């Protein structure tokens, strides 16, 4: 049983969404550089992390506006503040040598846009020799088509971005990974194995076998940072689901609230059962006030027919979860017999998707995983 | 904590059990067509008794297709001339011992209907015995034990005509039809019927005959077709062995399981007084499932 693709928006061109009146930037772990009442320009630095070793994050304002509130984890900005400048690049591009690319990347605050949100300049430091840079375009989550559209409409930017990444790590080969028809093939370890034939051991990263995997939109952000001196303040997301009247691929400022996006896309509140931020397999439930982050690939509003019901019926040992598991684990029974297998699980959700008993397998596994970790810590 | 996937395949236990029920309709119709009112009474009594037992065990009124399937399978394994009360006892054994002794649906080691059938055979041997064979101690009522003459019946007559034995043998082609429905909807693993029937065919050629076979039914020796169609093998391969709850978890495990069931079936058919080993074969294979799972998981976990 395959995970459906549901790529309804493959042919919808990227549109810019109407600018929101206010946004909320998530600044967890960073120190805000603004106070309430400050007027900020598009691209100006809002928050920055303390520099520990090489780790540094910086967060920029996507538009001109006024700061309305600042807390330890969020900064709210109200838009259309009349006295603000129209745009501002707060740093200068310095060149396209490896060091300079990393520097631009650091200054622009680029993070992994596939969801993990690791600062990209860290990934561009070659701790081990890297010969291949792989751009992940699998976009395995159902519904999501934003990466596909970006590649379709901006192939030149992706190519340039890829070359920058190759220069930064000193790689000879760059590859835009071909689309593979399998839901779990987007997972880095499998992608590297399937495209390059290099097996990545468990608990290792692709860099250990000389491959750097980057998300497609991250590569584009790298291009913007180096050649256009633009910090990471916007991304393309897919908006879809049967409760959306105008689904499509939209360019949205990071920090835009889900409520604004739904409003712009014709959200039917009456038939909407579940709002999801990210994909339907590994995404999170959201409400109108949840802001978009750099790692958000989509906003979905599903009707009750589209949404899975969790019933927790007895396991009938049909084995479908095992067939669905990309790692060959036994997802339905793993929580009963805790073992190191639990740590290998990547919570991709394929098991729960196929489970006829509609059991909350992912939740059970995560609970068992936490218990197992605590137990092994105390030993 | 990740909330887990928000979408589902739509393939649920309810749907699985519902389509299985539909797949059994041809068999039930054929058995009523052949045996008339007697068979109908057995079905009605069995279904009512199973739901009464479910009510007693769960203390609430329920309607589950899984219970309906158990009730119908139980009757399909009874001889046509069985008295009506045998399905009451069968229902009590199937639901009470087969299901709730082990902790309810999903926890049972054995297929409830098969366990009940084997217990019935032990409790009321007379009902399962063909009169002409009692002197020899050959109990049971299938073509496999009945002398049908020197010649082997043709394939079409085997598939279409009623042979003495359990109700499922009224018209073997309907069992096959039900099996095809299950396979088309991918409700059962094709490996189970394939490997089970293949093992039976192979062993029917390879196994040396015994006194029982040579004395009463010599045409059974080296005759795979008869072994597949005439006994309970078809019903077993598509409906009894494939019960997900009591079969192994992994697809490789299910291959081993089907082969084990086939071996047991043939050994019982050839070398024990019992005419048809299919029911015993299922039970013995069911009992081995935890072991099969354990070793298969170890083998398959070598992915890393």
Task: Give the confidence band of B129 by pLDDT, cuts at 50, 70, 90.
Answer: low
A-interface mutation test, from B4, B67, B99, B112, most A Cβ less than 10 A away: B4
| Residue B304 with chain A: CB contacts under 8 Å | 201-202, 344
Tell me if chain A has a CB within 8 Å of the CB of B103.
Answer: no
Domains of chain A: 20-79 (2.40.50.100), 98-227 (3.40.50.11540), 234-303 (3.10.20.600), 320-378 (no CATH)
Q: How confident is the model at residue A290 (pLDDT cuts 50, 70, 90)?
A: very high
In this prediction, residue A86 carries a pLDDT of 45
B295 touches chain A (CB under 8 A): no
Question: What is the pLDDT, as a whole number, of residue B161?
Answer: 62
The per-residue pLDDT for B138 is 35
Confidence of residue B216 (pLDDT cuts 50, 70, 90): low
Give me the pLDDT at residue A53, please: 67
Which residue out of B2, B5, B250 would a mutagenesis test of the A interface target, given it has the greatest number of A Cβ atoms within 10 Å? B5
Question: Does the distance separating the beta carbons of A323 and B7 come in below 8 Å?
Answer: no
How many angstroms away from the CA of B38 is the closest CA of chain A? 34
pLDDT of residue A153 exceeding 70: yes
Cβ pair A308:B5 closer than 8 A: yes
Residue B150 pLDDT: 43
Closest residue in A to B17 (Cα–Cα): A356
The pLDDT, as a whole number, for residue B300 is 66
Give the CA count within 13 Å in the CB-facing half-sphere of A71: 7
* Separation in Å, CA of B14 to nearest CA in chain A: 8
Chain A residue with Cα closest to B300: A328
- Across the interface, whether the CB atoms of B249 and A330 are under 8 A apart is answered yes
| Shortest Cα–Cα distance, A68 to chain B (Å) | 30
B247 reaches A (C-beta below 8 A): yes
Task: Using DSSP bridges, classify how beta strands A14-16 and A248-253 pair: parallel, antiparallel or unpaired.
Answer: parallel
Res B142 pLDDT > 60: no
The alpha carbon of A304 is separated from its chain's Cα centroid by a whole number of angstroms, namely 25
Q: Model confidence over A5-54: pLDDT tens digits? A: 899 999 999 999 998 999 999 988 888 999 999 888 888 889 988 777 66
Phi, psi of A47 (to 5 degrees): -150, 155
B5 with A201: Cβ contact below 8 A? no
**CB contact (8 A) between residue B106 and residue A317:** yes
With a cut of 60, say whether residue B47 has pLDDT above it.
Answer: yes
Q: What is the percent of chain A with per-residue pLDDT over 70, rounded to a whole number?
A: 94
User: Are A328 and B107 within 8 A, CB to CB?
Assistant: no
SS3 string, chain B, reads CCCCCCCCCCCCHHHHHHHHHHHHHHHHHHHHHHHCHHHHHHHHHHHHHHHHHHHHHHCCCCCCHHHHHHHHHHHHCCECCCCCHHHHHHHHHHHHHHHHCCCCCCCCCCCHHHHHHHHHHHHCHHHHECHHHHHHCCCECCCCCCCCCCCCCCHHHHHHCCCCCEHHHHCHHHHHHHHHHHHHCCCCCCHHHHHHHHHHHHHHHHCCCCHHHHHHCHHHCCCHHHHHHCCCHHHHHHHHCCCCCCCCCCHHHHHHHHHHHHHHHHHHHHHCCCCCCHHHHHHHHHHCHHHHHHHHHHHHHHHC
Contacts of A311 in chain B (CB under 8 A): 12
A356 to chain B: nearest residue by CA? B12
Name the minimum distance, in Å, from the CA of A302 to any CA of chain B. Answer: 9
pLDDT in tens, A299-311: 999 999 999 999 8
Closest residue in B to A326 (Cα–Cα): B303
User: Chain B: residue nearest A333 by CA?
Assistant: B249
Q: What is the pLDDT of residue B134?
A: 34
**Interchain contact, B6 vs A307, CB within 8 Å:** yes
- Using CA coordinates, name the residue in chain B closest to A1: B9
Bigger pLDDT: B199 vs B160: B199
Q: For residues A208-222, give the mean pLDDT.
A: 94
B10 interfaces chain A, CB cutoff of 8 Å = no
Which of B1, B9, B303 lies closest to A366 in CB terms?
B1
At B152, the pLDDT band (50, 70, 90 cuts) reads low
Q: Do A316 and B244 touch (CB under 8 A)?
A: yes
Contact map slice: B 205-244 vs A, CB within 8 A: 244
Q: Assign A158 a pLDDT band (cuts: 50, 70, 90).
A: very high
pLDDT for the residue numbered B133: 39
Residue of B nearest to A358 (CA): B12
- Answer with the residue of higher pLDDT: B4 or B8: B8
pLDDT band at B141 (very low <50, low <70, confident <90, very high): very low
> In this complex, which of A307, A314, A354 lies closest to B104 when CB atoms are compared?
A314
Quickly state the pLDDT bin for B197 (edges 50, 70, 90).
very high
Per-residue pLDDT band at A56 (split at 50, 70, 90): confident
For residue range A243-282, what is the model confidence (pLDDT) as tens digits? Answer: 999 999 999 999 999 999 999 999 999 999 999 999 999 9
pLDDT in the model for residue A94: 59
- The contacts of residue B32 (CB under 8 Å, 6+ apart) are B39, B40, B43
Q: The tokens of A335 are what?
A: 């929580």
Q: How many CB pairs under 8 A join A and B?
A: 113
Q: CA A117 to CA A102: how far, in whole Å?
A: 16
pLDDT at B154: 67
**How far is B89 from B224, CA to CA, in rounded Å?**
34
pLDDT, tens digit, for every residue of B232-244?
889 999 999 999 9
Cα–Cα distance measured from residue A144 to residue A299, given in angstroms and rounded to the nearest whole number: 9
Among the partner-chain residues A4, A323, A349, the one whose CB lies closest to the CB of B251 is A323
- What does the pLDDT average to over B65-84? 92
Given an 8 Å threshold on Cβ–Cβ distance, is B13 in contact with A316?
yes
| Mutate: best of B3, B6, B20, B245, partner A, most A CBs <10 A | B6
Q: Choosing among A8, A356, A364, A370, which should be mutated to test the B contact, i.e. which has the most B CBs within 10 A?
A: A356
Pairwise CA distance, residues B177 & A217, whole Å = 53
Give the mean model confidence (pLDDT) for residues B192-207: 94
CA atoms of A46 and A39, how far apart (whole Å): 11
| Residue B203: predicted pLDDT | 93
Question: What pLDDT, in 10s, does the model give residues A331-345?
Answer: 888 888 788 888 888
pLDDT-derived band of residue B136, with 50, 70 and 90 as boundaries? very low
Lowest model confidence (mean pLDDT) among A295-299, B192-196, B210-214: B210-214
Nearest CA-CA distance, residue A149 and chain B, Å: 24
User: Which member of A317, A353, A362 has the closest CB to residue B8?
Assistant: A353
Amino acid A337: pLDDT:
79
CB contact under 8 A, A285 and B300: no
Checking if the pLDDT of B188 tops 50, the result is: yes
Distance from the A192 Cα atom to the nearest Cα atom in chain B, whole angstroms = 15
Contacts of B16 in chain A (CB under 8 A): 316, 318, 356
A89-131 pLDDT per residue, tens: 555 555 688 888 998 898 899 999 988 888 999 899 988 899 9
Quote the pLDDT of residue B208: 84
What is the reported pLDDT for A365?
Answer: 93
The pLDDT of residue B190? 94
């Amino acid at each position: 049983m395959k995970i459906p693709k549901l790529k309804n928006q493959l042919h919808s061109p990227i549109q810019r969404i109407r600018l929101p009146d206010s946004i909320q930037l998530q600044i967890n772990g960073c120190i805000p550089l603004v106070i309430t009442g400050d007027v900020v320009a598009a691209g100006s630095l809002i928050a920055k992390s303390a520099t520990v070793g090489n780790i540094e994050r910086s967060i920029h304002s996507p538009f001109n506006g006024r700061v309305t509130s600042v807390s330890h984890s969020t900064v709210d900005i109200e838009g259309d503040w009349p006295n603000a400048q129209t745009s501002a690049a707060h740093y200068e591009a310095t060149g396209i040598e490896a060091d300079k690319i990393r520097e631009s990347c650091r200054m622009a605050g680029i993070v992994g846009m596939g969801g993990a949100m690791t600062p990209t300049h860290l990934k561009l430091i070659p701790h081990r020799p890297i010969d291949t840079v792989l751009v992940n375009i699998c976009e395995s989550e159902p519904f999501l088509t934003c990466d596909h559209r970006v590649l379709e409409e901006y192939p030149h930017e992706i190519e340039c971005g890829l070359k920058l990444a190759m220069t930064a790590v000193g790689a000879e080969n760059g590859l835009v990974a071909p689309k593979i028809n399998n839901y779990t093939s987007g997972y880095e370890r499998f992608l590297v194995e399937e495209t390059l034939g290099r097996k990545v051991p468990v608990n290792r990263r692709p860099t250990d076998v000389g491959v750097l995997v980057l998300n497609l939109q991250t590569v584009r952000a790298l291009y913007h940072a180096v050649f256009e001196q633009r910090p990471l303040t916007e991304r393309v997301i897919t908006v879809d689901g049967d409760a959306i009247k105008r689904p499509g691929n939209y360019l949205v400022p990071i920090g835009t609230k889900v409520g604004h996006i739904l409003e712009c896309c014709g959200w039917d509140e009456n038939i909407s059962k579940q709002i999801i931020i990210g994909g339907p397999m590994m995404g999170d439930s959201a409400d109108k006030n949840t802001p978009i982050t750099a790692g958000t690939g989509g906003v979905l509003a599903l009707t009750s027919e589209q949404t899975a019901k969790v019933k927790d019926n007895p396991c009938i040992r049909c084995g479908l979860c095992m067939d669905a598991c990309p790692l060959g684990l036994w997802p339905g029974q793993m929580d009963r017999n805790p073992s190191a297998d639990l740590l290998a699980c990547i919570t991709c959700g394929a098991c729960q998707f196929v489970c006829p008993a509609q059991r909350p397998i992912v939740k059970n596994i995560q609970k068992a995983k936490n218990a197992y970790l605590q137990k092994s810590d105390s030993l | 904590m990740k909330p887990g996937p928000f979408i589902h395949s739509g393939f649920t236990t309810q749907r699985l059990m519902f389509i299985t029920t539909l797949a059994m309709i041809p068999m039930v119709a054929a058995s009523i067509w052949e045996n008339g009112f007697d068979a109908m009474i057995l079905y009605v009594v069995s279904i009512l008794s199973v739901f009464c037992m479910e009510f007693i065990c769960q203390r609430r009124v329920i309607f589950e297709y899984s219970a309906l399937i158990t009730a119908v399978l139980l009757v399909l394994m009874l001889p046509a001339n069985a008295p009506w009360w045998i399905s009451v006892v069968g229902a009590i054994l199937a639901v009470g011992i087969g299901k709730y002794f082990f902790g309810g649906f999903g926890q049972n080691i054995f297929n409830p209907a098969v366990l009940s059938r084997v217990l019935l055979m032990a409790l009321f041997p007379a009902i399962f015995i063909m009169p002409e064979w009692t002197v020899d101690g050959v109990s049971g009522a299938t073509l496999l034990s009945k002398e049908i003459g020197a010649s082997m019946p043709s394939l079409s007559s085997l598939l279409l005509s009623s042979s003495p034995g359990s109700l499922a043998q009224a018209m073997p082609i309907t069992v096959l039809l039900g099996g095809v429905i299950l396979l088309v909807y991918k409700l059962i693993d094709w490996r189970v019927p394939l490997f089970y029937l293949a093992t039976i065919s192979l062993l029917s050629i390879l196994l040396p005959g015994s006194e029982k076979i040579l004395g009463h039914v010599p045409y059974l020796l080296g005759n795979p077709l008869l072994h597949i169609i005439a006994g309970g093998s078809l019903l077993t391969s598509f409906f009894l062995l494939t019960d997900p709850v009591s079969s192994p978890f992994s697809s490789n495990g299910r291959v081993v399981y089907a082969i084990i069931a086939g071996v047991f079936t043939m050994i019982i058919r050839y070398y024990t007084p019992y005419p048809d080993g299919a029911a015993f074969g299922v039970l013995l294979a069911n009992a081995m499932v935890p072991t099969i799972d354990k070793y298969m998981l170890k083998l398959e976990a070598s992915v890393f």
